[in-house]
A and B are shown apart, each in its own frame.
Chain A
């Protein structure tokens, strides 16, 4: 019998630089293979922030398309230890299907042109979740409009025909809900570099540029009012992370001397993590 390649995802994966770096490393290890089935070994996994399902799902999607890879794992083990991955719809099982704890915001992937599907998801799954802070109608509307702007940027600038991915998770013990959205496109830098006539040269500079109000989306202009408004909201409540190119940036990192982290082995596209704090 043919031996399947085995790649481990182990340790504790939180929504931070270290957790995301491990997922990127998994991608680069798997990317060495093609036309085969990889067994993902979760046996030494001790924690997995369920919203990271969006990133893992995107990685598997890209590898399956580009490298003709398929994946297997020990579903019985995951059902026992990480049933949240079934409750949020990332994996399927007849044994676990209902999110009776109401802690998940479903894992989904959308086609780039599925505006109705995405907006229904934001309005009916995310914005009504019990893990969100109390928001005025105006604040809710602002967040929805901002996420629509983010979606438009994905649609216009990702320059890839891949789906984009979303997932959220409420962590009652920490009083936070983290929502993850990512695409598999070219990331922030190329379009912003072009727009600024090479004034912006790094992914870090591109992220900072896209957060400024003046860099709202114009005709043929990347960036987005969505990021400015989200940044404004999360400056005073919770946190926001943006990962694009080699850069990990967050509002909380921005307040430190370091300012950012750098990935030695980056992934593609852009990831936005919104951390709503009650």
Chain B
């Protein structure tokens, strides 16, 4: 099932936590192999929005694949932001330790 973020939040700005919660309530019962999240028509996204939607979703279902997302052609940044949020959501403090170790080895 394809879920279009712009339709869910009725805005081209996926910024607020509340909007993230709205998206999560739509996607939370859809299993990953049946979920495509489309960001077409979205101009801006924030970490706060992604934490409350994609972040909580991957904490429930585990890692998502690239095929689960559709991005606007001119918004390549979205992909990297989502990757950060997924890593943070899945690894939490473990992720902090990894970054600490990586920094210490520089």
Contacts and interface: CB of A to CB of B under 8 A. Distances in A.
B44 interface: yes
B47 A217 contact: yes
Report the interface size class on chain A: 20 to 34
B12 to A, nearest CB: 9
Contacts of B63: none
Nearest to B43: A119
A152 B44 CA distance: 12
Contacts, number: 64
B99 A213 contact: yes
Interface string B24-57: 0000000000000000000010111101100110
Contacts of A115: 11, 13, 15-16
Contacts of B51: 217-219
B77 interface: yes
Contact of B15 (A141, A152, A217, A225): A152
Nearest to A145: B77
A149 B46 contact: yes
A148 B47 CA distance: 9
Contacts of A113: 16
Given A149-B46, A217-B51, A116 B89 contact: no
B75 to A, nearest CB: 9
A214 B56 contact: no
B55 A155 contact: no
A151 B13 CA distance: 13
Contacts of B88: 216, 218
A245 interface: no
A218 B11 CA distance: 23
Interface of B is mostly: helix
Interface residues of B, number: 25
A148 B46 CA distance: 7
Given A141-B77, A225-B84, A216 B16 contact: no
A8 to B, nearest CB: 41
A224 interface: yes
A148 B16 contact: no
A160 interface: no
Interface string B55-77: 11001000000000000000001
Nearest to A217: B47
B2 interface: no
Given A148-B46, A219-B89, A225-B84, A214 B15 contact: no
Interface string A116-148: 100100000000000000000000011011001
A278 interface: no
A156 B17 contact: yes
A144 B47 contact: no
14 contacts: A116-B13, A119-B15, A144-B44, A145-B77, A149-B46, A152-B16, A152-B17, A213-B99, A214-B96, A217-B47, A217-B51, A219-B51, A219-B56, A219-B59
